[in-house]
Each structure stands twice: as structure tokens, then as C-alpha cells.
């Protein structure tokens, strides 16, 4: 209705009848016609009516939908989290950081920062629903706790806590890589000094001894 202009009605018959439509144009010497109450032609030209019909949305609807987009979350605020956050900015993705301190490297490059420890179940449970999906910068977290919280909040954590648990232990990590046919360096399970000596000899003295859990690979 908003696009129809009453003044352009052209369905006039031979006797000058407009078939119920109102014409605003005046013929020379003819009195002005009053709007027909049945057609409501004047109501069709309310200011702004056409623009509302064309847009199909109320003013501000687009910005509201955009602001409702949940960010993807990163557990941890170190250098790796910072690099992920900066890449998210480049891609135009909203990102939220969960870390212990506002001075953490990743916390310094985002506006959406949440304070908390990676082993604080209550803080994590509050943070997860804030995000559409959550990832982490380090595997040294409580995989079982994150698995439970992911299930209870319905927020996906990727990679999954199950994978996190598998790669926390370097032996199970190596075994998983080998099982899936992924290349990795030869390895031995060293339980004591005697096993360490055997591994050293078998591998020709070119070995690196690592703890199965924790430690730093750099």
C-alpha cells in the first residue's frame, strides 16, 4: 500500500469516473474532491511508510543482531592467546580472553576480558556460556573439569578436553600420533635409570629426556 500513489490513478472510464480511486489532480474549473473514506487513500502516504516497507525491519534491528553475536573464548592470556586474538581481530571476529591478570599479553589486546584461574570451576562455568565456542592456548589444564563444564553449559571446547587429556602426557601423545600414522621421532618409555641407559644405547646417544607430564618443550 505504501508504494501506491493516489495521484497517479489512471483507471478513469469514459465518463471520467475513477472507479473508486482518488485523484489529487484538479481539472480546470472543477472543485477539489474529498478523499473516499472507504479507500483510505490518504493513510497510504504516511511519512516514512514506504521506507519501512522497503527495509522490512525496524530501525536498529541490524545493529542489535550484530551485537548479540557471542565471541569465541580463549582460556589463557599468554603469547599464544595474544596471537590468536590479533588474528581474530584481523578476521573481524569477536574474541574474549579468560586469564588471571589484566596485564597478561592477550588481555592487553582485547576489550572483552574475564578474570579467573584455569582451575576455578565457578569462574569457568560463568565464562563458558558467554562464548559461542572456547579454545585454549596451553594443554596444561584440568581436562576432566573442562569436559564436565562443557557438557553442563552446552559450550563446545575445541580441541576437545579428551584430546587435551591425551596430549598432556607425552607418552600417550606419542602413542596417539603413531597410532594415526603421523610422523614423530622415535621414543622409549623410560621408567628408571636402567631403562634410561638402554634407551641411550639403542638410540645411539642422540636422545632428549623429557618428563611425561608438564615441563616445557621450548
Q: Which of 85, 90, 86 is nearest to 99 (CA)?
A: 85
Q: What is the pLDDT of residues 190-206, one digit of tens each?
A: 999 999 999 999 999 98
Chosen CATH of 70-168 out of 1.10.10.1200, 3.40.50.20, 3.40.50.970, 3.40.50.300? 3.40.50.20
pTM of whole model > 0.85? no
pLDDT value for 139: 87
Residues with Cβ within 8 Å of 200's Cβ and at least 6 positions away in sequence, in order, are: 207
Q: What is the pLDDT of residues 147-167, one digit of tens each?
A: 999 999 999 999 999 999 988
- Domain regions of the chain by residue span: 1-55, 70-168, 184-218
Q: What distance in Å separates the CA atoms of residue 195 and residue 212, rounded to the nearest whole number? A: 15
Amino acid at each position: 500500500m505504501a508504494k501506491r500513489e493516489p495521484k497517479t490513478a489512471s483507471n478513469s472510464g469514459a465518463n471520467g469516473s475513477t472507479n473508486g480511486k482518488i485523484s489529487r489532480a484538479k481539472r480546470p474549473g472543477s472543485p477539489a474532491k474529498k478523499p473516499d473514506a472507504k479507500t483510505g487513500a490518504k493513510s497510504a502516504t504516511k511519512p516514512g511508510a514506504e521506507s519501512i516497507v522497503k527495509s522490512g525491519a525496524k530501525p536498529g534491528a541490524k545493529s542489535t543482531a550484530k551485537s548479540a553475536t557471542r565471541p569465541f573464548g580463549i582460556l589463557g592470556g599468554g603469547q599464544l592467546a595474544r596471537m590468536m586474538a590479533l588474528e581474530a581481530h584481523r578476521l573481524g571476529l569477536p574474541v574474549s580472553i579468560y586469564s588471571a591478570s589484566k596485564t597478561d599479553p592477550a588481555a592487553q589486546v582485547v576489550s572483552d576480558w574475564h578474570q579467573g584461574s584455569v582451575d576455578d570451576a565457578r569462574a569457568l562455568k560463568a565464562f563458558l556460556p558467554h562464548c559461542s565456542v572456547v579454545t585454549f592456548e596451553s594443554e596444561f589444564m584440568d581436562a576432566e573439569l573442562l569436559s564436565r563444564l562443557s557438557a553442563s553449559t552446552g559450550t563446545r571446547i575445541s580441541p576437545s578436553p579428551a584430546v587435551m587429556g591425551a596430549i598432556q602426557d607425552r607418552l600417550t601423545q606419542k602413542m596417539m600420533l603413531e597410532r594415526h600414522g603421523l610422523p614423530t621421532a622415535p621414543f622409549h618409555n623410560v621408567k628408571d635409570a636402567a631403562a634410561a641407559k638402554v634407551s641411550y644405547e639403542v638410540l645411539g646417544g642422540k636422545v632428549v629426556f623429557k618428563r611425561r607430564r608438564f615441563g616445557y618443550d621450548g
